[in-house]
Amino acid sequence: MARWGRWPLLVVLLAASAATQAQGSFDQQVEALVRPLADGLSNIVFYKVPIFGQPFPLIVLWLAVAATFFTFYMGFVNIRGFDLAVRHVRGHFHDHTATGEISHFQAVATAVSGTVGVGNIAGVAVAIGMGGPGAAFWLMLAGFLSMSTKLVECTLGVKYRRHNSDGSVSGGPMYYLERLFGDRGSPGVGKALGVFYALCMVIGCLGIGNMFQSNQAYVQFVGISGGPDSFFAERGWLFGLILAVTVALVIIGGIRSIARVAGVLVPFMAVLYVLSALIIIAMSAGHVPAALGLIFSDAFSLDSATGGLVGAMIVGFQRALFSNEAGLGSASIAHSAVQTDEPASEGLVSLLEPFIDTMVICMLSALVIVATAYPAGLMEQGLEGIELTSAAFAHHVPWAPYPLALAALLFAFSTSIAWSYYGLKAWTYLFGEGTAVQLAFKFVFCAFIAVGAMIKLDAVLDFSDAMVFLIAVPNILGLYLFAPEVKREVNDYMRRVRAGEVAGA
């Protein structure tokens, strides 16, 4: 770390200072350069088709149909495999002699750290504001269906991972897409899809995985430390540099270091947010039955004000699928590092991700809003996003926004370290596993964190969002083609566990 951390961080500091001094012109130049490209790509990736009069993004439909198909095709494995997933995370089946780098628990903690972010707090509020309380019902259903998609892609991630000479492993959609078409006599197609996926992931991780996260973390930190009077109010470069160095200290050690931090941070931040939300919900206990009734009735309402049933369904599915990332294949990159010789075991573990991210954390956010913000009239005050969620927390406990802001900061940090690994594995797929290659990516990643706290480059973020969701197209196609193989693998593994043929069963 000492050798890596001297002059590169000085370069970041100088670049940050220069960018801060010329922020206005720099923002405008980047916006003018990237905006046409971002708009063009976004219009393609998020193209909307009318369904019963409501615009439905095709990419969301692509993900939703896949989640529904895999749930039925895999025989509702999200229900029958749930207990087994929990047992794996608790270490019942851990094999110290198996290949891999991290435990089942660390793998799921790392992947969850990449999906649980500011969107779990702010995005849910936006979804309810757009689609009404009924959006929460469809969000829950989408989270349930997404569990099956995660199982398929994470099973494949482990099965077709690559073992490197230094004992590390590399896996993810770029590897199983390459193998899929290679085994079918089209290695060129497989390699092209792998390169396409990796390239999109590298570009996407530099926006959604770090710039957006550091920008949101900075906004939250300034908000709880004095607002315009905060020491950091005009020093985004300093906050960004501190955050970049902190992230660097974690990611420089690779997946083992990331997994150790995630293994501690994810349970802490999840418990912090869940307990805070439960306390607020308990203080609104008198409104909870009505809130649950409103969520269910509004989910099937024909009220045109919020788009009715279809509008609530579209918004709910969109928020859930954007939050848990099922179908993008990103989580399979982290799961590929698990220490196991049974690919299906990690597929089962991955069922817990959408459950935690969407069915627990997102739904608690929704219930806080519907049981507190609605009765208190906060919806009529024009609040939206994290401001609405924060106001709902503060309605009962004036200081409640502080632990909420702390949770948001932790969410942003944990997302950054997870996405650094996703981007790194895509980078090494393109340029090799050399130490210098890896350090170059980590430096670039941390530099973008610093930039993200200084300026909000909307065009860059929109472009990276589009790139990230574009990878769902080849990934889902690969999952469909691999589905029979995954079904056999999972069913055989569960049969052997029931028969006591697997150690720890």
Per-residue pLDDT tens digits for 145-201: 999 999 999 999 999 999 888 888 999 999 999 998 888 888 899 999 999 999 999
Eight-state DSSP code of residue 369: I
**Six token digits for residue 142:** 């989408």
Mean residue pLDDT of the chain comes to 84
% residues pLDDT > 90 (the chain)? 32
Could you list the residue range(s) of the whole structural domain that residue 161 is in? 2-498
Max Cα distance, the chain (Å): 67
Decide if 505 is inside a domain: no
How many domains, the chain? Answer: 1
Give a yes or no: residue 241 inside a domain.
Answer: yes
φ/ψ region of 494 (left if φ > 0, alpha if ψ in -120 to 50, else beta) reads: alpha
Find out whether 70 and 152 touch, Cβ atoms under 8 Å: yes
CATH code assigned at 426 = 1.20.1740.10
Query: Is 279 or 308 the better-scoring residue by pLDDT?
Result: 279
Half-sphere exposure of 15 (CA within 13 A, CB side): 18
Average pLDDT rounded to a whole number, residues 6-17: 46
Left if phi > 0, otherwise alpha if psi is -120 to 50, otherwise beta: which for 456? beta
Helices (H), 225-335: 236-251, 254-283, 288-299, 308-324, 330-335
Q: Are 107 and 100 in contact (CB under 8 A)?
A: no
Let me know if 437 is exposed, middle or buried by CB neighbors in 10 A (0-12, 13-18, 19+).
middle
pTM of this prediction exceeds 0.85: yes
Determine contact, residues 264/427, Cβ cutoff 8 Å.
Answer: no
Q: Name the most confidently modeled range: 67-76, 233-242, 428-437.
A: 67-76
Whether 503 maps to a domain, the answer reads: no
Residue 6 corresponds to which amino acid? R
User: Above 90 in pLDDT, residue 228?
Assistant: no
Residue 101, classed as helix, strand or coil, is coil
Phi-psi category of residue 371: left, alpha or beta, with phi > 0 → left and psi -120 to 50 → alpha = alpha
Instruction: Report yes or no on 106 lying in a domain.
Output: yes
Whether residue 504 is contained in a domain is answered as no
Q: Give the model's pLDDT for residue 281.
A: 92
- pLDDT-derived band at 298, boundaries 50, 70, 90: confident
Element (H, E) at 50: strand 48-51
Amino acid at 46: F
In a domain, 482, yes or no: yes
CA distance linking residue 297 with residue 295, whole number of Å: 6
Of 234 and 360, the one with more pLDDT? 360
Instruction: Please name which of 326, 413, 308, 310 lies closest in space to residue 362, comparing C-alpha atoms.
Output: 326
Cβ 53 vs Cβ 310: under 8 Å: yes
More confident call, 171 vs 132: 171
Work out the percent of the chain whose per-residue pLDDT is above 70.
90
**Structure-derived torsion over alpha carbons of residues 263, 266, 268, 272, reported in degrees to the nearest 10:** -170
Q: What is the predicted pLDDT for the residue at 307?
A: 52
Collapsing DSSP to helix, strand or coil, 277 comes out as: helix
Closest by CA position to 391, among listed 369, 367, 411, 375: 369
Maximum average pLDDT range among 320-329, 360-369, 406-415: 360-369
**Other CB atoms within 10 A of residue 265 CB:** 18
Domain assignment present for 265: yes
pLDDT at 77: 95
> Does 116 fall in a domain?
yes
Return the bridge partners of 54, or none. 51
Provide the pLDDT for residue 318: 78
Q: Residue 22: pLDDT above 70? A: no
Query: Across the strands, what pairs with 102?
Result: 338
The single-letter DSSP state of residue 167 is S
The string over 272-309, giving b where at least 16 C-beta atoms fall within 10 Å of a residue's C-beta and e elsewhere, is ebeebbebbbeebeebeeebbebbeebbebeeeebbbb
